[in-house]
Amino acid sequence: MYSPPRQSRAVQTEQRFLQALKELLLEKSFNKTTIQEIAERASLDKGAFLKRFGTKKRALLLLFEAYCQQVYVMLADLKAELPAFSSAQDFCLEVSTRYEGVLQENLASNRAMNELYMEDLKVDPLTKGIFMAGVDLLESAQAHFSDTVHGTKAGAFAAAQLVLTVNYNYALKAMPALPEDANLRQALIARLMVEALKI
C-alpha cells in the first residue's frame, strides 16, 4: 500500500521515478512502458520503484492527482478573479486558455489516464470532480454576467463540457480540425462557452 514519503531522500527518489514516468509517457503508451524502463530512466532500482509505489498504475495516479490539484487551484483562482472581468467572452477565454496550459503541462498523465479509460470505460472520480468544479465556476460566471447571460444549470454543464472536453481532446490530438493557432482556437471555444451559458 502506498504512503507518501516523509524523509527528504525518499521524496527525491519518488520525484525521480515520477519524472521518469512522465518522460516515458510522452514517448510511448502506458501499457508499453515497463517498470524496468522507469527505473532505468530514473537511474534507480526496479525494486525501489515497487517498494515505493507497488504498481505502475499507483505511480500514474500520483501524477494525475498532481494535475487535478493544479486544475482545482486554477479554478479557484479564476473564481476569485471573476469580478475583474467585464465580459463573459473575456472570462471564458481566460478559463479555456488557462485550462489548456495546465493540460499541456500534464499531457503525459492525461494521455495515460485516457488509455486506461478506453480499456475499462470507467471515468476516474477525480475527473468527475474537476468537471463539477468547472460547472460551479461557470454557474458563478452566469450569476456575475446575468445582464448578458441568463442561463440555467444545464447551460453551465454544457459550457463546462465544452471547455474541458474540447481542450482535452485537442491536447490528445483527437481534434486536428480545430485551428492550430491557439488564439483562434481559444476564441472559438470561448464563443461556444458563452452561447452554452445562455441555455
Q: Are residues 18 and 68 in the same domain?
A: no
Q: Answer whether residue 65 shows pLDDT above 70.
A: yes
How many domains does one find in the chain? 2
How do residues 66-88 score in pLDDT, each as one tens digit? Answer: 999 999 999 999 999 999 999 99
Q: Are residues 104 and 34 in the same domain?
A: no
Mean pLDDT score of the chain: 95
The CATH number assigned to the domain holding 40 equals 1.10.10.60
Domain housing 17? 1-54
Phi then psi dihedrals of residue 169, to 5 deg: -70, -35
Amino acid (one-letter) located at 196: A
Q: Are residues 66 and 50 in the same domain?
A: no
pLDDT band at 1 (very low <50, low <70, confident <90, very high): low
Q: State mean pLDDT over 92-117.
A: 95
End residue of a domain, out of 38, 54, 70: 54
How do residues 113-129 score in pLDDT, each as one tens digit? Answer: 999 888 888 888 999 99
End residue of a domain, out of 35, 54, 73: 54
How do residues 145-187 score in pLDDT, each as one tens digit? Answer: 998 888 899 999 999 999 999 999 999 999 999 999 999 999 9
pTM: 0.90
Q: Are residues 171 and 91 in the same domain?
A: yes
Cα–Cα distances (Å) from 31 to 25, 62, 75, 117, 135, in that order, read: 10, 17, 31, 12, 32
Q: Quote the CA–CA distance of 146 and 62 in Å, as a whole number.
A: 39
Q: Are residues 146 and 185 in the same domain?
A: yes
Q: Are residues 88 and 36 in the same domain?
A: no
